[in-house]
Chain A
Amino acid sequence: MFEEQEIISIGKRELVDRIRGLSSQDYRLVQIGCTKLETFQIDYSFDKDYKFLNIRVNVPIEDAQLPSISGICGSAFVYENEIHDFFGIKVDGISIDYGGNFYRTAVQAPFNIEEPSTDEE
């Protein structure tokens, strides 16, 4: 038995209003995750009464920028700082902004570095 998962893709400009709407309906922010493809795929996952809903935004890799939702969802600041530190995405208006010092990484944006795939088998 596996839960139904709804994924809705929206534009960056709609993001804040959409999240505000979900928050007002008591949806819980489950996580914010980033996947590097041809663009950065940002997933904002929510749950309400075991119903899983994922809002997806794609932003270009060059000069990637996002508005913060930490003013709406209190727990968002940890994910937004993580996305900034790992992928180098600039997030505007984080409620608690560590300015790149949330994680102590040896290199900047380690998840945004191209590395060839290798099979170590």
Chain B
Amino acid sequence: MAKRTIIPFGPQHPVLPEPIHLDLVLEDEMVVEAIPSIGFVHRGLELLCKKKSFKDLIYVAERVCGICSFMHGMAFSQGIEKIMDVSVPDRALYLRVFWSEMSRIHSHILWLGLTADAIGFESLFCHCWRIREKILNIIEDTTGGRVIFGVCKVGGVRRDVDDDTFKRILGQLKEIESDYNNIVDVFRRDYTVKHRFSGVGVLPREDVCPLGAVGPVGRASGVSQDMRKLGYAAYNNLDFEPVTESAGDCYARCMVRIREVNLSFDLIRQAVEKIPDGPVDVKVKGLPEGEVFSRVEQPRGEVVYYLKGNGTKFLDRFRIRTPTFTHIAALVQMLAGCDLADVPVIVLSIDPCISCAER
């Protein structure tokens, strides 16, 4: 047996914008075991349910993550709405789809840029983030925010988007999608990208369920599982199929995200076409008493909110299970047996959001 060496990876590392630590047990250049540890920046946000009323907790939920903040707010809101039997106006549900898909496009293009950067493809990184900037401008135009949107609330949404603005946005999105398709062709055709990602960090289809992999990680291994199919918000009125690939490697995860951006453009077009007129919120009376598990498909996969109300304005429990947290088990498996040089790419391929995991 070769001599074993332990190499620390993180919490500070060029491919990690946020801190996570891995102890990599190596035999020569091969990783035989990866032992993760987290908690460097844990914020204990879940405990704030004892100090903030349920109406204020949405601000906390939105601050769990700076990339999918809107979807955190939506998962929380729809959970409270279920407990309190609040019927949200249809227009608000379509607006939730619009902002969710804008968030997904923004998140995936951000990831594509970071991935290009991780393999030293600086110009591709710049082009991805140039396109992402246009998406952020539309988000700012419609919500007033670029990171925290602040538009979702229990009972609906805080802002409306008029028809003229939607018409203008659809025109902009058409141009952005065309630009996007030209850029992602590089990921599809470039030898360097293919060579760096193909056959690396393979997660076989049969391991997806036992390891609890969700979102693009699970779908890249051929498992057609997308929480949008639950039909929350207005997704039950939209026509789509989850994007899947079969190879289960880093390249397949990259391809899933690339195709999901196109799906999001399509879902936005469908939502804008079908959005009905009407109010965007209802007045919420009473206090939450009961419990619910609220599930939403975020860019990184399924997020679960468990909310338990006791008839007062404070909740008994505000529990969040984020996709990055559940991917730790899959990551440990993917890293075992890989080359040391492939570790950064594999870690990046799950699109880790430590801010979410350290809620």
Chain A neighbourhood of B211, CB < 8 A: 74-75
| B304 at interface, CB cutoff 8 A | yes
**Would you list which residues of chain A between 87 and 121 have a CB under 8 Å from chain B?**
96, 98, 101-105, 110-111, 115, 117-121
* Contact A120 to B293, CB < 8 A, known contacts A73-B210, A102-B38: no
| CB under 8 Å from chain A, chain B span 304-359 | 304, 306, 308, 313-314, 316-317, 319, 321, 325-326, 328-330, 332-333
* Partner among A50, A103, A120 whose Cβ is within 8 Å of the Cβ of B42: A103
Query: Does B236 contact A45, Cβ atoms closer than 8 Å?
Result: no
Q: A4-34 CB contact bits vs B (8 Å, 1 = yes)?
A: 0100000000000000000100101111010
* Range for the number of chain A residues in contact with chain B: 35 or more
Binary A-proximity of B31-60 (CB < 8 A = 1, otherwise 0): 000010111101010110011110010000
CA distance A54 to B52 in the complex (A): 27
Q: Is the CB of A3 within 8 A of B295?
A: yes
Any chain A CB within 8 A of the CB of B78?
yes
Residues of B within 8 A of A2 (CB): 78, 82, 232
* A19, chain B: closest CB distance, angstroms: 12
Inter-chain contact B231/A1, CB cutoff 8 Å: yes
In the complex, what distance in Å separates the CA atom of A105 from the CA atom of B163?
50
Q: How large is the interface on B (under 10, 10 to 19, 20 to 34, 35 or more residues)?
A: 35 or more
Q: Is the CB of B304 within 8 A of A31?
A: yes
Of the candidates B231, B316, B333, which one forms a contact with A37 in the assembled complex, judged by CB atoms under 8 Å apart?
B316
Q: Which residues of A contact B232 (CB under 8 A)?
A: 1-3
The answer to whether B329 and A78 have CB atoms under 8 Å apart is: yes
- Which positions 139-172 of chain B face chain A at CB distance < 8 Å? none
Known: A1-B231, A45-B293, A98-B37. A31 touches B326 (CB 8 A): yes
Contact A119 B39, beta carbon cutoff 8 Å: no
Known contacts A2-B82, A74-B211, A75-B330; is-contact A104 B306 (Cβ 8 Å): no
Closest to A35 in B: B317
Residues of B within 8 A of A102 (CB): 37-39
Q: Is the CB of B82 within 8 A of A105?
A: no
Q: Which residue of B lies closest to A70 (CB)?
A: B329
CB neighbours (8 Å) of A35 from chain B are 306, 308, 316-317, 319
Provide 5 A-B residue pairs closer than 8 Å at the C-beta atoms, listed in order of the A residue.
A30-B295, A105-B39, A117-B314, A118-B50, A119-B51
Taking A1-B231, A1-B232, A75-B212 as known contacts, 19 extra A-B pairs with beta carbons closer than 8 A to each other, sorted by chain A number, are: A2-B78, A3-B230, A5-B292, A28-B209, A28-B212, A30-B212, A33-B319, A35-B316, A52-B295, A73-B212, A74-B329, A74-B333, A75-B330, A78-B325, A78-B329, A85-B39, A96-B35, A118-B50, A119-B313
